[in-house]
Structure 1
Amino acid sequence: MTGAAMRRTCVLILSVLAGPAMADDKQFTLDVDPALVEAGVMQHLLPRFSLKTGIKVNIAGGEADLMLGDGGAPAVAQGDSVWGLSEASDPDAVRFSEWLLSEVGVRTLESFGGGFGAPVVEVAAGEEVAITGDLALGETAALTHCGRCHVVNESNRMNAIGSTPSFGMMRNFSDWDLRFATFWELKPHGAFTQIDGVTEPFDPERPSPIAPVVMDMAEVDAILAYVASLTPADLGAPIQSQ
């Protein structure tokens, strides 16, 4: 099958599988690497995204609102192969980018099997983290930079994304301090985070798929100090097997 014929086949298959007809203002066009379609990954992801959000995904070769393929922010991996998301301005395309990079999106991708998942960044274990910083600045910075996804405290409980863990829940992690001190190295943060004087600027060919998070180390230290002041969320007693 020629490349053009494969593309037309992908468009036909995914137009059907992306979900039922939806309102014209809740849709976007996606140009996706045919290899992901052949593997069945997109047939697995798109209907679940559409069911969750009510947004229709229209597959279109060439110019589109969003591209998933070579270049862009790393989003999908299988072995040594990595596919990235381009930068998007269409709000529905941005919503898909955020979903695919979120914890729910990653779990959905991993549930397909076949070795597919999000690109992994390893963080060294056993490092000691010094906790200093301004608690007031930390709360403000956390709400500003992290609150669009995570529940930081009661003030943004209704504005965060429910699929992401709250600060209180993450405070239960044994390595919570290392996670917060190097969060930009953990998926999916590296794809859209810039730390002044620490991270490299985004590659022009691999820009942030969403509005980037930009902060300096003073804010990172302050957030770490603020999280240290939080009481870990009560997750309840472990379930006892019968």
Structure 2
Amino acid sequence: MWKYLALTTAIAASPALSQDKAFTLQAPVELSETGFLKHLLPRFSLKTGIRITVQDGAADAAFGTDGTPVFRQDATVWFLARTESAFTDAFADWLASDVGKRTIEAFAPDGTPMFSADVGAKVEPRAVALSGDAQLGERISLQQCGRCHVVNDTNRMNAIGSSPSFGLLRTFPDWQERFETFFLLKPHPAFTQVEDVTDPFAAHLPSPIAPIEVTLEEIEAITAFVGSIMPSDLGAPIQTQ
């Protein structure tokens, strides 16, 4: 009797007869030939107990050009497309985790990492096409923005030190978008009115300071003025030992 119970328990616990924690993965030849998958997949399986079988043709998941970006190889971003399942979801989550990212970047067959977990889109500065009146923009900037920001040397001693100067803001890759939409960026909505664009302040939420009131033409002029100034020189990067 006891032998029968022990045998029954062993059969029930057998991996071959229990639910198989596994899925299939398709990968292009150029990725497989790097040896990266032999580095990556066993480490995932060791961590999760989920086995991945690489195969040609249709599979439960695939590395390629569709899906979610998961790692970068030089200028190429590799994506993971997958059917919805607990196992493929676990793989995607692991790739995006700190452990997964470290595993991706630890693959360095010649001593130099071949892949990067940084798949953030690179921000390319868009072409600056400015048609506003820069002289008008300078005047409006001093009148409306100079109470907080250093606009130029004439108000250097009157601005708030914690507010970034126009020269500093000019160093940002997205400076043009910031100025064109400044009225949407905190803290500006609380005290800025753009003619025919923003709603009036709510009766119970008046502007905490003398409001800034501008038109779209004046915002265009301010942006043109900022485009005409030199970005601040922030100096060389700090060197660390």
TM-score, scaled to structure 1: 0.47
Larger radius of gyration: 2
Higher relative contact order (CA 8 A, sep 6+): 1
